[in-house]
């Protein structure tokens, strides 16, 4: 890195010299002469006109341009793309030509010119119009760029907390995009203040400071231009310095609030939904018609889990069947739906403190915020900003924020995926306690089978926008309907076999007991068994009893790894078959050691193969 610094610094120094040398030369001339031009008639009125007109122009650009930039940043329509190109055209035009174009719109003989009695040119109004035309793109382009970087999850969360479109724009988008907007405002004001070409065409009189300076240069030469140039430099320096002053975030005045009692335990209504949506080429078709209070949606990335949750929250628009008890939330606007939505990736508002996050929801009260802050272990962090919090603390704030909206349903999108293992386990247990204490219905989206089993009564396994299996968690995990479901619920042992009898399959040169009564002998099947359901015994051990439903398969240990609470083993059966085993036996097994796999028939799942290796779901 040190080798790169020297040339980089050299290049930077060249730019500084190029920009600074003229300024130094100007200052030397300014202090060494008495003919500066500060007493020339028209100087101060010209400065006043430029200052006031640039400020009025900036106000107009900000009021209209910032909302336009937000719309352009969030829209992908052809009209938005065309408008995005249109607002950048003044950047490509020489300012003089911009003034000529404006004459065709507001000149004295146009419709607008006659309507305003030919007062739109050669007036202060004309100066403002010219400045606005050439300066507006600087703010709009800068604001649009920063609006495009705003996490959509922030706006989604704000909507579920009861804030409409205008409120989300004012209270979320603008503060988050504040630095970019301020930079654009600075560029727009400086561009307007220094505009000459468009102004001189549209409004030669009254005279702005750049026009006045050119007139002095043309009539008397350089001496009388020192004063207006010095004033312009001074104004630019002051404005740039002011723009670098960042507003201080004032800590909220936290009144002492008596800790309220916990919310009354009231069992929430069971949930059902029927979602049928096309998202481009992706078709999301999911139905869960078994009333349940705690549902986990389990599936791989790209399965449609987050799209389902957004649909249930109302963020994808109306028309989704979503029932809480007998109440259909599907056609209720998102801001009125009373759904607590915890977005993926800690979607907290970066400009708000913890307490402000909790009070952001419509209807949230200081007492309710104080309760959830204490219940979720956030006391002492009320005045902290998200950047000052750990990952676990941010996730607690996001959960508390959703609960402060007093929701009827809690929707959680991969809430713990970005956390380290100890924090993840801690927050899972905390959420389970909240489920039991409040009775609040929850829909959890996850790709973690352990998380799904811990936090749900029912599991819906999805892939490619459709349901593969649904039902009580224990049943789905114990009896997956297909090899794909087995993989998604964490079963790593999947292997081909052949049915040899109604109670036996052949695998790896060994016989395994299983309920194969649904298949004819000779049928090719896939079979699986959970790693923790397989027991390892030493070849010298005597079998315990004569259980006909137990298989004893000779194997060799290929690999052994201790994973904290148990040991994971990879064992070989025959020349080409392998099986994973998880054992809590404190006596370790060594690589290369012979062993016996003990497998119970009730722990084996079977599926029939159809041509090409596809699977008939549900065949067991």
E strands of 241-390, at which residues? 271-279, 282-292, 294-298, 321-324, 327-328, 339-342
pLDDT score at 265:
47
- How many residues does the structure list for the chain? 620
With contact defined as beta carbons under 8 Å apart, do 499 and 584 qualify?
A: no
* Stretch 413-424: mean pLDDT: 83
pLDDT score at 612:
40
Rounded to whole angstroms, how far apart are CA atoms 96 and 305?
A: 55
pLDDT in tens, 367-414: 999 999 998 989 889 999 999 999 889 999 999 999 999 999 999 998
Helices first, then strands: H and E counts in the chain? 22, 21
- Pair of tokens at residue 309: 């949750």
- Here the contacts of 66-72 (C-beta below 8 Å, separation 24 or greater) are 66/139, 66/143, 66/174, 66/181, 67/169, 68/140, 69/139, 69/140, 69/141, 69/143, 69/144, 69/147, 70/143, 70/144, 70/147, 70/169, 70/173, 72/140, 72/144, 72/147
Rounded to whole angstroms, how far apart are CA atoms 612 and 135?
A: 65
Flag whether pLDDT at 620 surpasses 60: no
DSSP per-residue string spanning 455-473: T-SEEEEEETTEEEEEEEH
Burial class (CB in 10 A: 0-12, 13-18, 19+), 139: buried
- Pair of tokens at residue 152: 């959509």
pLDDT in tens, 313-356: 999 877 788 988 888 888 889 999 899 999 887 789 999 999 99
Burial class (CB in 10 A: 0-12, 13-18, 19+), 321: middle
pLDDT score at 613:
41
Going by pLDDT thresholds of 50, 70 and 90, the confidence category of residue 546 is low
pLDDT score at 29:
85
Question: For the whole model, what pTM was predicted?
Answer: 0.81
Provide the 8-state DSSP code for 34.
Answer: S
pLDDT score at 195:
94
With contact defined as beta carbons under 8 Å apart, do 418 and 447 qualify?
A: no
pLDDT in tens, 230-285: 999 999 999 988 888 876 655 544 444 444 544 544 556 888 999 998 888 899 99
pLDDT score at 172:
95
Q: What percent of the chain has pLDDT over 70?
A: 93
With contact defined as beta carbons under 8 Å apart, do 415 and 427 qualify?
A: yes
Among candidate residues 460, 438, 482, 448, the one with its CA nearest the CA of residue 273 = 460
pLDDT score at 255:
47
Give SS3 for 342.
strand
Rounded to whole angstroms, how far apart are CA atoms 214 and 96?
A: 14
pLDDT score at 456:
92
- Pair of tokens at residue 249: 């975030």
With contact defined as beta carbons under 8 Å apart, do 40 and 216 qualify?
A: yes
Burial class (CB in 10 A: 0-12, 13-18, 19+), 79: exposed
Provide the 8-state DSSP code for 528.
Answer: E
pLDDT in tens, 478-525: 888 888 898 898 888 888 999 999 999 999 889 999 999 999 999 999
Rounded to whole angstroms, how far apart are CA atoms 334 and 313?
A: 6
Q: Domains in the chain, start-ordered, CATH in brackets? A: 35-243 (1.10.3720.10), 271-478 (3.40.50.300), 490-615 (2.40.50.140)
pLDDT score at 285:
93
Sign of CA dihedral 442, 443, 446, 448: positive
With contact defined as beta carbons under 8 Å apart, do 293 and 436 qualify?
A: no
Among candidate residues 544, 553, 543, 536, the one with its CA nearest the CA of residue 588 = 536
Residues 6+ away with beta carbon under 8 Å from 61:
132, 135, 136, 139, 140, 188
Flag whether pLDDT at 7 surpasses 90: no
Flag whether pLDDT at 471 surpasses 70: yes
Average pLDDT of the residues of the chain? 88
Flag whether pLDDT at 564 surpasses 80: no
Interior/surface letters 268-307, b for 16+ CB within 10 angstroms, e for the rest: bbbbbbebebeeeeeebebebeeebbbbbbbbeeebbbbb
* Stretch 575-593: mean pLDDT: 87
Q: Could you give the residue ranges of the DSSP H alpha helices within 479-604?
A: 483-488
- Pair of tokens at residue 229: 């140039």
Rounded to whole angstroms, how far apart are CA atoms 476 and 495?
A: 19
Query: CA separation (Å) from 308 to 291, 342, 476, 486?
Result: 17, 14, 20, 22
Among candidate residues 341, 343, 339, the one with its CA nearest the CA of residue 327 = 339
Rounded to whole angstroms, how far apart are CA atoms 156 and 345?
A: 13
**Alpha carbon of residue 421 to chain centroid:** 22
Flag whether pLDDT at 616 surpasses 60: no
Flag whether pLDDT at 73 surpasses 90: yes
Flag whether pLDDT at 32 surpasses 50: yes
CA torsion angle 514 519 524 526 (round to 10)? -50
Flag whether pLDDT at 196 surpasses 90: yes
Rounded to whole angstroms, how far apart are CA atoms 436 and 430?
A: 10
* Stretch 529-556: mean pLDDT: 83
């Amino acid at each position: 890195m040190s080798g790169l610094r020297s040339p980089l610094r050299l290049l930077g120094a060249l730019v500084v010299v190029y920009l600074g040398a003229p300024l130094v030369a100007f200052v030397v001339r300014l202090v060494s002469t008495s003919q500066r031009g500060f007493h020339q008639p028209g100087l101060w009125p010209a400065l006043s006109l430029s200052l006031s007109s640039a400020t009025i122009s900036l106000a107009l650009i900000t009021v209209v341009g910032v909302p336009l930039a937000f719309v352009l940043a969030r829209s992908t329509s052809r009209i938005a793309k065309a408008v995005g190109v249109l607002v950048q055209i003044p950047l490509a035009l020489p300012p003089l030509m911009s003034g000529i174009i404006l004459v065709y719109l507001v000149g004295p003989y146009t419709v607008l010119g006659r309507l305003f009695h030919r007062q739109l040119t050669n007036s202060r109004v004309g100066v403002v119009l010219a400045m606005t035309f050439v300066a507006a793109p600087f703010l709009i382009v800068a604001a649009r760029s920063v609006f495009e970087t705003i996490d959509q999850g922030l706006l989604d969360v704000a909507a579920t907390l009861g804030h409409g479109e205008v409120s989300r724009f004012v209270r979320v988008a603008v503060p988050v995009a504040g630095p970019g907007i301020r930079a654009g405002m600075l560029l727009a004001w400086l561009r307007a203040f220094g505009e000459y070409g468009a102004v001189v065409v549209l409004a030669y009189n009254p005279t702005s400071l750049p026009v006045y300076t050119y007139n002095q240069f043309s009539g008397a030469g350089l001496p009388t231009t020192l004063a207006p140039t010095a004033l312009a430099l001074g104004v630019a320096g002051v404005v740039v310095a002011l723009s670098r002053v960042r507003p201080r975030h004032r800590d909220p005045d936290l009144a002492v609030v008596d800790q309220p009692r916990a919310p009354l335990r009231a069992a929430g209504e069971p949930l059902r939904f029927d979602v049928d949506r096309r998202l481009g080429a992706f078709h999301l078709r999911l139905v869960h018609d078994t009333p349940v209070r705690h549902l986990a949606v389990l599936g791989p990335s790209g399965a449609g889990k987050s799209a389902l949750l957004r649909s249930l929250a109302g963020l994808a628009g109306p028309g989704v069947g979503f029932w809480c008890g007998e109440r259909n939330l599907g056609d209720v606007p998102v801001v009125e739906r009373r759904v607590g939505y915890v977005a993926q990736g800690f979607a907290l508002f970066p400009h708000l403190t913890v307490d402000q996050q909790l009070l952001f929801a419509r209807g949230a009260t200081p007492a309710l915020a104080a309760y959830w802050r204490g219940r979720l272990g956030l006391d002492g962090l009320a005045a902290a900003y998200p950047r000052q919090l750990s990952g676990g603390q941010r996730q607690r704030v996001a959960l508390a924020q959703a609960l402060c909206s007093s929701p009827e349903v809690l929707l959680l999108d991969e809430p713990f995926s970005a956390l380290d293992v100890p924090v993840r386990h801690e927050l899972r247990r905390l959420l389970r306690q909240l489920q039991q204490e409040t009775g609040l219905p929850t829909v959890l989206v996850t790709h973690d089978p352990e998380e799904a089993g811990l936090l749900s009564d029912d599991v819906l396994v999805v892939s490619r926008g459709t349901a593969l299996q649904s039902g009580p968690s224990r049943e789905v995990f114990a009896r997956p309907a297909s090899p794909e479901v087995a993989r998604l619920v964490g079963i790593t042992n999947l292997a081909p076999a052949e049915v040899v009898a109604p109670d036996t399959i052949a695998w790896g040169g060994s016989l395994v007991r299983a309920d194969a009564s649904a298949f004819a002998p000779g049928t090719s099947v896939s079979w699986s068994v959970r790693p923790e359901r397989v027991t390892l015994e030493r070849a010298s051990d005597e079998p315990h009893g004569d259980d006909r439903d137990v298989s004893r398969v000779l194997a060799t240990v290929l690999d052994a790894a201790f994973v904290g609470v148990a040991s994971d083993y990879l064992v070989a059966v025959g020349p080409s078959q392998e099986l994973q085993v998880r054992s809590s036996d404190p006596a370790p097994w060594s690589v290369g050691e012979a062993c016996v796999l003990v497998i119970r028939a009730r722990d084996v799942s079977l599926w029939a193969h159809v041509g090409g290796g596809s699977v008939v779901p549900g065949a067991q």
